[in-house]
Structure 1
Amino acid sequence: MSLQPASKEGPIEKLIRERITQALEPTSLKIINESHLHRHHAAMKGVTSVETHFRVKIVSEKFDGIRMIKRHREVYRLLADKMKASDGIHALALDTKTPAESIATQ
């Protein structure tokens, strides 16, 4: 099981980890904060949060039989309040797989 917390996990990253873990019971969860790569973008002007852009890789048995778009919608639903907040998540890149799909792509 790979549910590694980052060494400097901020409150939004922690919330992402908690909600996904609780709802999807992942066998693997990797959250990468890529906010520092986007600070210079025009849309980020005036934003003081250091947690705005994330890449999230989830492996969960709960994705079995569910199309990719529905998997992504479920994750967006879990984080909807933070995606709507002005100081919340601006961008979320998702990689959602079942354990079998994860093994097949290794």
Structure 2
Amino acid sequence: MQKQEMIVGLLTKALAPLHLSVENESHMHNVPPGSESHFKVQIVSDAFTGKRMVQQHQLVYAAMGGMMAQIHALALHTLAPDQWHGQAAEASPNCMGGSKGA
């Protein structure tokens, strides 16, 4: 099973998201082809209601468990349902450490 699928499974099981998007952004970084090291997650969950952003992120980290040790970077966009209006997560910035686009 690929890491992206594992992330989806872990977050779905733990946080019952109303919306979940997991993108492998490894190709945007100076890593070998096929890498699964950089991910962007947008997740909307009732579990985030009334929680500060750091608490929301802590819930995601807890859901990921040992999987976090296998990932170099995880860009999180966490929202409570009342904060989400169907918008996509912001585009990630270009890699500053050896971007393949440069």
Q: 1:98 aligns with which of 50, 67, 80?
A: 80
1:1-106 to structure 2, matched below 5 A, reads 11-38=2-29, 40=30, 50-84=35-69, 88-103=70-85
Give the whole-Å Cα distance in 2 for the aligned partners of 1:36 and 1:104: 26
Q: For structure 2, list consecutive stretches of 5 or more residues without a partner in the other structure.
A: 89-102
Please report the TM-score for the alignment, with normalisation by the length of structure 2.
0.76
CA RMSD, Structure 1 to Structure 2 (Å): 2.3
Give the whole-Å Cα distance in 2 for the aligned partners of 1:91 and 1:60: 21
Q: Secondary structure at the match of 1:50?
A: coil
Give the whole-Å Cα distance in 2 for the aligned partners of 1:65 and 1:58: 15
**54-63 or 70-79: which moved more?**
70-79
Question: Cα distance, 1:103 vs. partner?
Answer: 2.2
Give the whole-Å Cα distance in 2 for the aligned partners of 1:23 and 1:80: 11
Q: Secondary structure at the match of 2:84?
A: helix
Give the whole-Å Cα distance in 2 for the aligned partners of 1:49 and 1:76: 24
Q: For each residue in 1:59-93, what CA deviation from the matched residue of structure 2 results, as whole angstroms up to 9, or x when unmatched?
A: 01111111110110111122231222xxx210000
Q: Secondary structure at the match of 2:40?
A: strand
Please report the TM-score for the alignment, with normalisation by the length of structure 1.
0.73
Deviating beyond 3 angstroms after TM superposition, the runs of 4 or more aligned structure 1 residues are none
Identity %: 39
Q: For structure 1, list consecutive stretches of 5 or more residues without a partner in the other structure.
A: 1-9
